[in-house]
Amino acid sequence: MSNRRIQTLTALLVCAAAMPALADETFTCGGQIIQPGMSQSDVLAQCGEPTSKTVTEEPVRSGNMVSGTTTLSRWTYASYSSTRVLVFDADKLIDIVDPNDPDDSGDGN
């Protein structure tokens, strides 16, 4: 097998392995892709009002010390085919969670 063919196959395998991670970080709403980094107003414009909203104050930690707090908003969009929870830190979308996936913690990481 030539080096070129091996490089192509390697690139295809790397791309295929990354596909599930990319799918977990986006959400399609109103024909538009919703992804981390968007503002709450951007998401509202594309998706409309969520099924439910919760807002909590969470500590901001630096090592073992609490250096302040931040506001986390969790917006749930539920439909017959899927449910996604969009997590915002202040106004910025930081995570898209599948509540049916036990490996998806929804902590923004």
- Annotate 76-97 with DSSP letters as a single string: EEE-SS-EEEEEEETTEEEEEE
10 in a domain, yes or no?
A: no
Structure confidence at residue 61 (pLDDT) = 87
Domain span at residue 46?
27-97
In a domain, 12, yes or no: no
pLDDT of residue 71: 94
**Structural domain contains residue 13:** no
Q: Provide the pLDDT for residue 73.
A: 96
Q: Chunk the chain into consecutive blocks of 10 residues (it has 109) and report each block's average pLDDT, rounded to whole numbers.
A: 53 40 66 93 94 94 89 91 91 92 61
Answer whether residue 8 is part of any domain. no
Asked if residues 93 and 45 have their Cβ atoms less than 8 Å apart, the reply is no
Q: Does any domain span residue 71?
A: yes
Q: Is the pTM of this model over 0.75?
A: no
Domain count, the chain: 1
Quick check: is 17 in a domain?
A: no
Give the CATH number of the domain where residue 34 resides.
3.30.1450
